[in-house]
Amino acid sequence: MTIYIGNLSFQAEQEDLLDLFNQYGEVQKCTVPLDRETGRKRGFAFVEMSNDADEQKAIDDLQDVEWMGRMIRVNKATPRERTGRDNKGGYQGGGGGGGNRW
């Protein structure tokens, strides 16, 4: 299971999240996604822990808690919906003609 942490402070670093979640058990992976164009943090992160019970305890304890000046949202991550893009950033399939756009 992966934990989603939303509404993060833009000052939060991966080490800060590791310190926070290591209080609940062993963290296997922690990622703080960056914007592709600007390289800035996007305000959310993902944490994977080695034990499901530890993950659930972290979710229960940290949901809607103020951390680093922000009320963070902590819940189970859900798979991202497909947006019609393939793994290379392009669009799959083909479309018809342009038609009337106005």
**61 in a domain, yes or no?**
yes
**8 in a domain, yes or no?**
yes
Backbone angles phi, psi at 62, to 5 degrees: -100, -10
**22 in a domain, yes or no?**
yes
**87 in a domain, yes or no?**
no
Full residue range of the structural domain in which residue 17 is found: 2-75
Extended strands (E) in 2-92: 2-6, 27-31, 44-49, 65-67, 70-76
**81 in a domain, yes or no?**
no
**pTM: predicted TM-score of the whole model, two decimal places:** 0.76
Per-residue pLDDT of the chain (102 residues; tens, 9 = 90+): 899 999 999 999 999 999 999 999 999 999 999 999 999 999 999 999 999 999 999 999 999 899 999 999 999 998 877 666 555 554 343 444 444 444
CATH number at residue 37: 3.30.70.330
Give how many domains the chain has, as a whole number.
1
**96 in a domain, yes or no?**
no
